Chain A
Amino acid sequence: MAGAAVLGGLTWRVATVTAVVDETPRVRSLELEVPGWPGHAAGQHVDVRLTAEDGYRAERAYSLASAPGEPPAITVERLEDGEVSPYLTEDVRPGDALAVRGPIGGYFVWRPDDGGPLFLAAGGSGVAPMRAILRYRRNSMSDVRARLLYSSRTLEDVIYRAELDREEVVHTLTRAQPPGWTGYARRVDADLLREVAWPAEDDPLAFVCGPTSFVESVAAGLVELGYATGRIKTERFGATGGP
Chain B
Amino acid sequence: MEALDGNAIGGMLYHVFGGEMTMAQAKCGHCRARGPLAECEVYLGGPGVVVRCRGCHNVVMVLVEVREMTCVDLGGLSELELPARR
User: Which A residues contact B (CB, under 8 angstroms)?
Assistant: 1-3, 5-6, 9-10, 45-47, 59, 61, 101-102, 104-108, 212-213, 233-239
Contacts and interface: CB of A to CB of B under 8 A. Distances in A.
A10 B15 contact: yes
B3 interface: yes
Interface of B: 2-8, 10-11, 14-15, 18-20, 22-23, 36-39, 44, 83, 85-86
Contacts, number: 75
SS of A interface (majority): mixed
SS of B interface (majority): mixed
B4 A236 contact: yes
Given A106-B83, A236-B8, 6 more contacts: A46-B11, A104-B14, A213-B2, A235-B7, A236-B3, A236-B7
A10 B14 CA distance: 7
A105 B20 contact: yes
Nearest to B14: A10
Contacts of B39: 107, 234
Contact of A105 (B4, B22, B44): B22
B20 A212 contact: no
Contacts of A5: 19-20
B2 A239 contact: yes
Specify which of A1, A105, A233 lies most central, judged by the most chain B CB atoms within 10 Å of its CB: A105
Nearest to B37: A107
Given A61-B11, A105-B10, A2 B86 contact: yes
Contact of A47 (B11, B18, B44, B85): B11
B85 A45 contact: no
A195 to B, nearest CB: 27
Contact of A104 (B3, B11, B86): B11
Nearest to B5: A236
A237 B14 contact: no
A105 B8 CA distance: 9
Contact of B20 (A2, A59, A61, A236): A2
A116 B11 CA distance: 28
